[in-house]
Amino acid sequence: MAANFFYLKKTCIIAVVLRLLFMIYGEWQDATMVVKYTDIDYEVFTDAARHVANGSSPYRRATYRYTPLLAWILVPNITLHKAFGKLFFVLCDIIAGYLIHLILKTEGIVDYTAVKYSWIWFFNPMIITVSTRGNAESVLAVLVLSTLYFMLNKRFILSAVLLAFSVHFKIYPIIYSLPLYLMVGWFARGKGGECGHTKQDGMLQVIFSHISHPHQLLYAVISGSMFLLINGVMYYMYGFEFFEHTYLYHVTRKDVKHNFSVYFYMLYLTMDTSFSWIISLLAFLPQLILVLVFGVKYYKDLPFCLFVQTFVFVTFNKVCTSQYFLWYLSLLPLILPRVKINMTKALKMLLAWCISQALWLSAAYLLEFQGYNTLLLVWTASVLFFAVNIWILYTVIVNHTYSI
């Protein structure tokens, strides 16, 4: 046990050192190159934190579309050092990796093996780069993984509270509400125990018995009440602009700039026509249906369920950028121990995922920085990336051995 703890500790130390080296390099690049290492969003966060430190609203900073909590957390960017936020995001990175290790152990994976699977997060160059550039996705990773960890350990109240904070921080974790709710009932009935129905009961009565356990209702009340409380406090402090910038903007936005989404080109071509809302609706429906279906089908294997839901949500979303990939990459190590794919096929999947991204990025570079009209080529690369993701999802599902 002591040896395994030392092994995990050494992993965390190396992961921290790597991230600090990336930060040092980033400072050098920011000072010497035209293209900056630091994410533009980090400048937005810092400006919002400055407004908070001066006693005003973070939304005085144009393009700040996040919870005020983030600006509060980053006030030391102003009062201590501008790198505080990056260090905080790195800390969240390490905590997320540790939570991955804990969840794997909860799922029955031996300590040494759990550490090795956590390397997928600790030493992933994309994840290291995102946090050290000043992106806040690692904070959300901690909230989501904590929600999952406490659910798997039947700490329903803590899980409910953390779910509320997760959805407050960014809207998309609301998709986890259904499988979490169903999982509470499954745990409460003793993992598949009787619900008090007989063969003579109708289908609706059977369904109702699976969604009406007192523990489930308590989970819904606590998570819902906490979400309303957090948002009520924010609304009291900042008024309607809090709702407008934190939630309404993301729900109503029409982002037709090129991105990884397979829908961006259709939305771009129809943005000034009456077909725009139809395209948006048609794009939303398969995403919603698949998220709900997978939530019901796989909830008993919760880590796998959340991964599949997130992967589908990102793949079918109307807007898809590189930082969205972190939403499911934080869950990827949790499912790999039970995905029975040989190394050759796994490498093919990884190469296909990376190459399809590289093709998209090459076309986007020609469009953005060289001025070539490659918009159709960018969309073609988006279609290829979409197809690769569907293939990966199908392969993972059919080769997964469930933990129940």
Tens digits of pLDDT across the chain (404 residues)? 555 666 889 999 999 999 999 999 999 999 998 889 999 999 999 999 999 999 999 999 988 999 999 999 999 999 999 999 999 999 999 999 999 999 999 999 998 899 999 999 999 999 999 999 999 999 999 999 999 999 999 999 999 999 999 999 999 999 999 999 999 999 988 765 544 444 444 445 546 656 778 999 999 999 999 999 999 999 999 999 998 888 887 776 666 577 889 988 888 888 777 777 777 788 889 999 999 999 999 999 999 999 999 999 999 998 898 889 999 999 999 999 999 999 999 999 999 999 999 999 999 999 888 888 888 999 999 999 999 999 999 999 999 987 65
Q: How far is it, in rounded angstroms, from Cα 96 to Cα 22?
A: 18
Map residue 339 onto helix, strand or coil.
strand
Instruction: For residue 310, count CB atoms less than 10 angstroms from its CB and return exposed for 0-12, middle for 13-18, buried for 19 or more.
Output: buried
| Measured CA distances, 220 to 186, 217, 227 (Å) | 15, 5, 10
Strand-pair partners of 339: 400
Spatial contact of 71 and 51, defined as CB atoms under 8 Å apart: yes
User: Which token pair is 144?
Assistant: 């989501």
Q: How far is it, in rounded angstroms, from Cα 241 to Cα 6?
A: 48
Phi then psi for residue 339, to 5 deg, are -100, 110
Q: How far is it, in rounded angstroms, from Cα 60 to Cα 63?
A: 9
User: Which token pair is 325?
Assistant: 């990939």
Q: Which residue has the tokens 């130390």?
A: 13
Q: How far is it, in rounded angstroms, from Cα 122 to Cα 45?
A: 24
∠18-19-24 over CA atoms, to 5°? 100
DSSP H or E stretch at residue 111? helix 111-122
